[in-house]
Structure 1
Amino acid sequence: MADMLSIGSTALNAYKKALDTTSHNVANAATEGYSRQRVEFSSRVPAGSSIGLGVGFQDVERVVDQLVGQRLLSGSSSGGRLDVYGDYTARLDRLYSDADTGIGGAIDSFFAGLSRLSSDPASSAVRTEVLGAAEDLAANFRRIGTALNDYGQEIEQRLSVSVSEVNRLAEDIASFNSQIALARGTGTPPNDLLDKRDLALQQMADLVDIKTVTQDSGDINVFTGSGQALVLSGNANALGLRADEFDGSRAEVVLRAGGQIVPLGDSISGGRIGGLLDVRGELDQDQGRLGRMAAAVALQVNEQHQQGVDARGQLGGELFSGALSEVRAASTNTGTATPQISLTDVSALTGDSYDLRFNGGYELVNRRTGEPVALTGSGTPADPLVGEGFSITVPGTPANGDRFLLQPTHGAAMNLSVAFGDPTRLAAAGLMRAEPATQNIGTAQASLTVNDAATAVAQTPASIEFIDANTYSVDGAGAFAYDAAAGINVNGFNLRLEGDPVAGDRFDLNAAGPNSGDNRNALAMAALGDRASLAGGTRSFSDENAGLVASAGDRARQAERQAQATGAILAQDRAQRDSVSGVNLDEEAANLLRFQQGYQAAARVIDVANQMFQSLLSAVSR
């Protein structure tokens, strides 16, 4: 009877534990990260006895699959990165391709307006239309450039929030490590603490790529993807943000550990922080590429516009204005040098950023490729340093180790504007007109183009008279051989003749006056729209814009495809985790009934044992 009572008591305790555990599962069925628990029964068989001593149970077991958990960490990191990256690439795709605010339509409208101006250079309405199209083009460049800048500021804010969240989670994980160790030391199963720690790890992986190492003690150490320790047992290190050495509004992610600051830079490749850093890098490239297009439009149109005469009879000035380039000095510089950039060759501009370094001499490194760029010159105004489509003058004195961030085109889009609002200042006419004398009897018809802008703007008149069909004089001087193929170069212009001149034919070069009706400069500006002047002379403005739009679209579609694939795998892993560790209420309800019946049966065993004992007492007492 004593054995029966003892056996019944062990069964009662075991089923009570099972009912408690099942109830705990039911209560936490909707708790995020909870892993179901179970009690493992085992029979108690003493040595040398054919009859057991009832039932026993070990600790309450937490049902998990560690391999699935590791896959979830990796998938969360990839998913977090793609979530952020996909969001921004989709926004950039919409920004560039918008028909109303995009660049492509505005470029086409501007050059189409110049073409109409060449057909009717005296029309005030057409001049107003061209100036309005120029304003729209500049406004669209500014709008997109400002949007890219705003996205960059938004990223800085999100980086700050994400870094703070990583630090909070690191502290939580370190605390869980300590609590788990304490619970195990007292023999208490730390199952719920393990669930909370795993959930914190998944939340951290969503923010930054991590690696975990489980110690024999049960502690989990957490490292960044590059191997820097975030959590070591009960101690947590902190991520931080340090102002960029070139731009105080831009932050660099660092790790603060043991009184040291470790820059993480590009080593963060996953999680939302990795996605933010990836997007920030691409925003830099897009700002430079968009700026290259804006700078090319401004420089080439301005150059041509200055080779014309406006409706007032005055030389054309700049049509577009605004700072095109940006130079930033490193905060650690000790010298007094202040480099300045001038854009010199549109076709050679890359849109990239550069590091200019001084160590006894200057060296230039492309930040995107990491490759050195050949430099010529000394940096003086008379002998500037010459890079990829730009020159650099360096007033002041640099110190060894001084560094500068050069962004030749990054400011162009945000700063582009139209230099004037008076339509009469549009220089549609050529600088000079080649007018045949009334007494000419040959068939030659003259055309005039600029071949030396610096000389041509002086608008120096000239008279070319043919001594015979093969010889001419200039302002009555000389007898120069006439080459029809080469034309006649005079005062910064090249005079070409279609047809045959004869002796006595004269062509007078005179400055264009007010309201001349001449359209040659408007024609020349309109022709810039189709000229392949970018990327080494292989792309027109429209080609460059189409490439920018296509690149943004490709990035967005690729990010979407990757996100779908990663999301599908992550969903499978979560489903597998739920199938192993999730609470099935139907199953738990069945367990409740089963364990309740077991508990009741165990109680009946004890009751029977008690009745037998009472019967024995009654028999003895007679």
Structure 2
Amino acid sequence: MSMDLLNIARTGVLASQSQLAVTSNNITNANTQGYHRQVAEQSSLESQRFGNSFYGAGTYVTDVKRIYNDYAARELRIGQTAMSQAETTQVKMSELDQLFSQIGKSVPQGLNDLFAGLNSLADLPDDLGIRGSLLGNADQIAKALNQMQSHLDGQMSQTNDQISAVTDRINEISKELGHLNQELMKSQGSDSQLLDKQDALIQELSQYAQVNVIPLESGAKSIMLGSAAMLVSGQISMQMGSTAGNPYPGELRITATTGDQSVAVDPAKMGGSLGALFQYRDETLIPAQLEMGQLALGIADTFNKAQSQGFDLNGNVGSDIFLDINDSKMSVGRVGGFETNTGNAALRVNIDDVSALTGGSYELTFTAPATYELKDSDTGTTTPLTLTGSQLTGGDGFSINIDSGAFASGDRFEIRPSSGAAAGIKVVMTDPKGIAAAGPTITADSANSGNTAIALNAMDASAPGFPGVGAQITFEIDTTTNSYEAFDAAGTSLGTGTYTAPTIDAFGMNFDVQSSAGALADRFTFDLSAAEGNNSNAVAMAKLNEAKLMAGGSSTLSDVYENTKLEVGGKAKAAEVALGTAEAVHSQAYARVQSESGVNLDEEAANLMRFQQAYQASARIMTTANEIFDTLFSSVR
């Protein structure tokens, strides 16, 4: 029995020593990120029979177990993904909100200054100083839009850099997980330190994208990102990549590569900070850029049209103040062809009616033999287009010209009508005398029915038959047959014609006919004299500040910017609220993991004392056994 006592004491000392080692390791790693608490599990040695009784033979440590709750870890990963996504969104939206609220305030201020300058010009239409100042105001709003677009381009570049940085880190983690899986296969997943490293990497990975973990019998884990791409399969690591966008190269996309095969990954399925970056770029940043382009088109088109309705100080029909809205510098990026296209059609988008623009984007598809469809990316509405010659019509304020080449069935193009305008807008007028402050006088004949009215859209001095500044031209309009006849000041007929209601475009005069009922011969006379001090066109231009010129007649020029600013501000506030919610969920999940897998120093300190006492007690058994031996030996001497 004394020999048994020594063996029992020995097993107790060894077991207590193991318990002390595990407890000490827990204490020293209490602040180690990703460490999971370990527990040494003990069992009794098989009993031994002496006579008719069974006696215990001691204890041994069966396993050093890593405390890990798979469900709690999965909940934490989900919480981490949601929090990272919300955090990235909040940061990006806050940056954009600051951009519109602070730097962008020069846009509405510049627009206000431009209209204030027009009011001053209306008071003194011949003052060259005021005219020069007005051109300066026009240049100010153009440069404010240029600057705003430049900052938005900077946001795009920064977002692309962040996407590249995230994918690079994902690739590093993928390689590390592949190596860890290889090592874990050797130990059949029993090395706690390797498992902690693996779990820490997976937890970090969940910041960047949604992670699905697939445990393998070998102890390794396969990893999927966002249910869209396999990142790690056993010891094989895949690679994520960022490549040029399709159809716009400057808008990066991500791919998953295995060997020599690469496939595009849908960022909408990624989640995490990576998904948030794509969501911010595609759903907020690009629309904001297009809306700034819409405003630039509205400003340039509105004032250029207004110029064509009046006369300058040189006695000419007013010329453009801003670059023409369909100039190549104002239309960069309006069309993007997808890589899968097999045709060679070269397209150009022409803005026909700025007021009808939505500020959105569209997808143009061609199906042989002759089906052209335009799908609104925001509403999903599909509109058939009509091909006349080489022009496709039916878009919201724009038409599409096929400059060269031909479509192939299945070809797709992204159409962004307002793209490039905010970067391209600039003042082209250099002579202050060119501002058309004077306007023609339109007189309705006293014998008219009263059922019609007209509104001048533009004058074109280069058009055939234009009577010239200082002359008169009278139109006799029959709204029942949509026909007209024009007369000069002497009453001589200049010719007849028909028109498509409501617009008559003849003899260099473009105007709309507004009819409440049929009229056979209502006459309207245009006096094209540019009298000194005439300010009628300057007054009309100043009133454009309050005119509903945009978005189908529902918004003023100022409203376009303010609506974008409010939308960005609303999203920024929503992102802030969402972040608070996500942080609370993550905190709860983290607390649950810590309650099970984390090290509680108070508990470990108590265990340390308990195992120390057990060690001392086992050692005391050995002393007792030794004393028994001594007594036995002494008794037989």
TM range (shorter): 0.7 to 0.9
For residue 518 of structure 1, give the secondary structure of its aligned residue in structure 2: coil
- Aligned 1:524-543 pairs, distance under 5 A: 524-543=540-559
Residue by residue, what CA displacement relative to the aligned partner does 1:475-520 show, whole Å, maximum 9, x if unpaired?
33379xxxxxx9x999638899xxxxxxxxx99934326xx22112
- 1:295–1:324 Cα contact (<8 Å) kept: no
- 2:305–2:457 Cα contact (<8 Å) kept: no
For residue 330 of structure 2, give the secondary structure of its aligned residue in structure 1: coil
Residue by residue, what CA displacement relative to the aligned partner does 1:172-197 show, whole Å, maximum 9, x if unpaired?
22222222221238xxx411111111
Which residue, 135, 139, 144 being the options, matches 2:139? 135
The amino acid of 2:406's aligned partner reads P
Corresponding residue number in structure 2 for 1:544: 560
In structure 2, C-alpha distance between the alignment counterparts of 1:369 and 1:511, rounded to whole Å = 49
Shift of residue 71, structure 1, vs aligned partner:
1.0
Query: Relative to 1, partners in 2 of residues 1:208 and 1:100: Cα closer, same or farther, differing over 3 Å?
Result: closer
Corresponding residue number in structure 1 for 2:417: 408
Query: Relative to 1, partners in 2 of residues 1:271 and 1:55: Cα closer, same or farther, differing over 3 Å?
Result: same
- 1:45–1:51 Cα contact (<8 Å) kept: no
Which residue, 373, 377, 388 being the options, matches 1:363? 373
Corresponding residue number in structure 2 for 1:150: 154
What is the TM-score normalised by the length of structure 1?
0.86
In structure 1, C-alpha distance between the alignment counterparts of 2:366 and 2:94, rounded to whole Å = 40
Corresponding residue number in structure 2 for 1:499: none
For residue 548 of structure 2, give the secondary structure of its aligned residue in structure 1: coil
The amino acid of 1:601's aligned partner reads A
Shift of residue 546, structure 1, vs aligned partner:
1.9
Shift of residue 278, structure 1, vs aligned partner:
0.4
Shift of residue 449, structure 1, vs aligned partner:
6.1
What is the TM-score normalised by the length of structure 2?
0.84
Which residue, 145, 159, 163 being the options, matches 2:163? 159
- What number of residue pairs does the alignment pair up? 582
In structure 1, C-alpha distance between the alignment counterparts of 2:467 and 2:39, rounded to whole Å = 97
Q: Does 1:289 align with 2:301?
A: no
The amino acid of 1:28's aligned partner reads N
Which residue, 70, 78, 82 being the options, matches 2:82? 78
For residue 41 of structure 1, give the secondary structure of its aligned residue in structure 2: strand
Query: Relative to 1, partners in 2 of residues 1:554 and 1:614: Cα closer, same or farther, differing over 3 Å?
Result: same
Residue by residue, what CA displacement relative to the aligned partner does 1:256-306 show, whole Å, maximum 9, x if unpaired?
236432221244341111011101102111111221121111112111112
Q: Does 1:616 align with 2:632?
A: yes
- 1:239–1:253 Cα contact (<8 Å) kept: yes
Which residue, 321, 330, 341 being the options, matches 1:323? 330
For residue 418 of structure 1, give the secondary structure of its aligned residue in structure 2: coil
The amino acid of 1:520's aligned partner reads S
Corresponding residue number in structure 1 for 2:315: 313
Q: Does 1:373 align with 2:394?
A: no
- 2:473–2:488 Cα contact (<8 Å) kept: yes
5+ residue gaps, structure 1, are 437-446, 465-471, 480-485, 497-505
Which residue, 453, 463, 473 being the options, matches 2:459? 453
The amino acid of 1:292's aligned partner reads Q
For residue 339 of structure 1, give the secondary structure of its aligned residue in structure 2: strand
Corresponding residue number in structure 1 for 2:490: 476
Query: Relative to 1, partners in 2 of residues 1:34 and 1:507: Cα closer, same or farther, differing over 3 Å?
Result: closer
For residue 394 of structure 1, give the secondary structure of its aligned residue in structure 2: strand
The amino acid of 1:475's aligned partner reads A
- 1:353–1:408 Cα contact (<8 Å) kept: yes
Query: Relative to 1, partners in 2 of residues 1:299 and 1:324: Cα closer, same or farther, differing over 3 Å?
Result: farther
In structure 2, C-alpha distance between the alignment counterparts of 1:388 and 1:448, rounded to whole Å = 25
In structure 2, C-alpha distance between the alignment counterparts of 1:338 and 1:418, rounded to whole Å = 29
Instruction: After superposing the two structures, state which structure 1 stretch, 346-355 or 361-370, moved more.
Output: 361-370
Shift of residue 572, structure 1, vs aligned partner:
1.9
In structure 1, C-alpha distance between the alignment counterparts of 2:344 and 2:35, rounded to whole Å = 61
Corresponding residue number in structure 2 for 1:503: none
Query: Relative to 1, partners in 2 of residues 1:452 and 1:216: Cα closer, same or farther, differing over 3 Å?
Result: same
Query: Relative to 1, partners in 2 of residues 1:169 and 1:451: Cα closer, same or farther, differing over 3 Å?
Result: closer
Corresponding residue number in structure 2 for 1:426: 435
Query: Relative to 1, partners in 2 of residues 1:384 and 1:62: Cα closer, same or farther, differing over 3 Å?
Result: closer
Instruction: After superposing the two structures, state which structure 1 stretch, 69-78 or 324-333, moved more.
Output: 324-333
The amino acid of 1:346's aligned partner reads V
For residue 391 of structure 1, give the secondary structure of its aligned residue in structure 2: strand
In structure 2, C-alpha distance between the alignment counterparts of 1:369 and 1:237, rounded to whole Å = 37
Which residue, 350, 353, 363 being the options, matches 1:345? 353
Which residue, 609, 612, 636 being the options, matches 1:596? 612
In structure 2, C-alpha distance between the alignment counterparts of 1:574 and 1:102, rounded to whole Å = 45
- Aligned 1:38-57 pairs, distance under 5 A: 38-44=39-45, 46=47, 49-57=53-61
Query: Relative to 1, partners in 2 of residues 1:47 and 1:390: Cα closer, same or farther, differing over 3 Å?
Result: farther
Shift of residue 86, structure 1, vs aligned partner:
1.0
5+ residue gaps, structure 2, are 324-328, 445-452, 475-485, 494-501, 514-523
The amino acid of 1:202's aligned partner reads Q
For residue 392 of structure 1, give the secondary structure of its aligned residue in structure 2: strand
- 1:450–1:456 Cα contact (<8 Å) kept: no
The amino acid of 2:14's aligned partner reads N
Corresponding residue number in structure 2 for 1:468: none
Cα-Cα RMSD: 3.2
Query: Relative to 1, partners in 2 of residues 1:448 and 1:368: Cα closer, same or farther, differing over 3 Å?
Result: closer
Shift of residue 399, structure 1, vs aligned partner:
4.1
